[in-house]
Amino acid sequence: MSAIDRAVKLLEATAQTPAGLGVREAGALVGIPKTTAHRLLEDLWRNGLLAKDAESGRYQIGAGVLQLATAYLSRLDIRQRALPHMRRLRDMTNETVGLTVRIGDERMYVEQVESRHALIRRGEIGRPYPLYCGAPGRVLLAAMDDEEITAYLNRVSLERFTDNTPVIGSVIRSLVSEIRRVGFAAASAELIPDIATAAVSIANHTGASVAALSISGPTSRFEPLNAVPHLVETASSISAELGNHFKPDGTDTIEPSGVNQQGEEGK
């Protein structure tokens, strides 16, 4: 194998090992000497494609891989087809509209149309966010099957970002069940204080969820439940662009009091 082939193999092996790889383990998996593995891992680390734990010395996938993925995802058909609809939704609600996709155990904004209000809060395109908190994340989580969700919850660290962040597996599963029942997620101040968000799924021609469409705004002026009808209609239009022509009969309503502290959602 060439050096590039070996480096790619190391990236693939690391991506498939959430706990990270040590030098000896990585070399054995790829079938190269420990010294060669160390040199290539260090090269990948210096270029941001791998991250290295200072204490254990183990390597994990780095932010550079996500940036490359974003560059690829930005050219996907879904982004191009969604953008005109997202602009119309922003004009209708005058709040920030986001398009989020799942990448492994995380999610990432691949497109965003910002509110024209002076006071706004935007997500960072290309930055990884958790799946278990944030309305777009849990919409994507709800699209996974129960076994996938259990495996995900067993391997990720549930970090608390605000007092409202859900960090108990049973609570997250309950919130996922509610999303599946009503067809949307809505709450506030879970990932970022004082930000409310509503999100729904976008489906392709097979019916599979491929992205989450969201609306976000400051809790002082934005009530996510009020935005759900516009959000559902827009997501249906985008899904139709992708070949999915199913039109929902309606969406159940969650009363604001039904979104408790552990269920509140932020961007």
pLDDT at residue 58 in the model: 92
Q: Is the pLDDT of residue 82 over 50?
A: yes
Q: Is the pLDDT of residue 51 over 50?
A: yes
pLDDT at residue 72 in the model: 65
Whether 202 is in a domain gets the answer yes
The rounded Cα 227 to chain-centroid distance in angstroms is 20
**161 touches 265 (CB < 8 A):** no
Same domain, 44 and 140: no
Give whole-number Cα distances, 24 to 29, 58, 76, in Å: 9, 10, 37
Whether 91 is in a domain gets the answer yes
Band of pLDDT at residue 115, cut at 50, 70 and 90? confident
- Domain containing 55 equals 3-13+20-61
Q: Which residue has the higher pLDDT, 117 or 42?
A: 42
- Out of 63-72, 73-82, 219-228, 242-251, pick the least confident: 242-251
Per the structure, the count of domains in the chain is 2
Coil, strand or helix at 85: helix
Tokens 């994507």 belong to which residue?
Answer: 140
Whether 196 is in a domain gets the answer yes
Give 109's contacts (C-beta < 8 A, 6+ positions apart): 98, 99, 100, 123, 124, 125, 126, 127, 129
Same domain, 39 and 83: no
Whether 68 is in a domain gets the answer no
Distance between CA 86 and CA 213 in Å, rounded? 8
pLDDT at residue 207 in the model: 87
Same domain, 237 and 105: yes
Whether 66 is in a domain gets the answer no
Give whole-number Cα distances, 171 to 178, 256, 263, in Å: 11, 17, 8
Q: Is the pLDDT of residue 4 over 50?
A: yes
Same domain, 50 and 152: no
pLDDT at residue 54 in the model: 85
Tokens 């994340």 belong to which residue?
Answer: 137
Q: Average pLDDT, stretch 78-95?
A: 92
Whether 255 is in a domain gets the answer yes
Same domain, 44 and 113: no
pTM assigned to the model: 0.66
Q: Is the pLDDT of residue 119 over 70?
A: no
pLDDT at residue 234 in the model: 95
CATH of the domain at 142: 3.30.450.40
Nearest residue to 223 (alpha-carbon basis) of 95, 90, 89? 95
Same domain, 44 and 83: no
Same domain, 117 and 175: yes
Whether 234 is in a domain gets the answer yes
Q: Average pLDDT, stretch 130-134?
A: 92
Q: Is the pLDDT of residue 254 over 70?
A: no
CATH of the domain at 43: 1.10.10.10
Same domain, 211 and 123: yes
pLDDT at residue 100 in the model: 93
Q: Is the pLDDT of residue 180 over 80?
A: yes
Same domain, 90 and 56: no
pLDDT at residue 249 in the model: 44
Same domain, 160 and 188: yes
Band of pLDDT at residue 263, cut at 50, 70 and 90? very low
Show the tokens assigned to 207.
């019916």
Q: Is the pLDDT of residue 258 over 70?
A: no
Same domain, 8 and 91: no
Same domain, 100 and 36: no
pLDDT at residue 241 in the model: 86
